[in-house]
Amino acid sequence: MLRLDRCPLNIRIVEDIRPYKARKVAILNGAHTALVPVAWLCGVDTVGEAMRDKAIRHYVQQTIDEEIIPALDLPAEELRQFCRCGHRALS
């Protein structure tokens, strides 16, 4: 048995994964959906390239903070910690 409860990473063992799946879908997919037309109009081809652009990154973060997070039924601070716009390992 895989004992994730003993892993030193930030892993939560929960009864119901649905709120966390909704968080992922809303934040990641919502951010990508908002990003695509803006990046395309700016001639940007990849998410990594878009996140290195200060104006696009600001737009995506503002969309997450002002539109996506308030619409979710999870603690706002927890949602903000989940967001990693421009995280070096993900670019």
Q: DSSP assignment, residue 67? A: I
The label of the residue with tokens 């995506």 reads 60
- Confidence class of residue 87 from pLDDT cuts 50, 70 and 90? low
Per-residue pLDDT reduced to its tens digit, 22-36: 888 888 899 999 999
Report whether 36 contacts 60 (CB < 8 A). Answer: no
Residue 12 neighbours by CB under 8 Å, 6+ apart? 20
Instruction: Please tell me the predicted confidence (pLDDT) of residue 73.
Output: 79
**AA letter at 22:** A
Cα separation, 85 vs 64, whole angstroms: 10
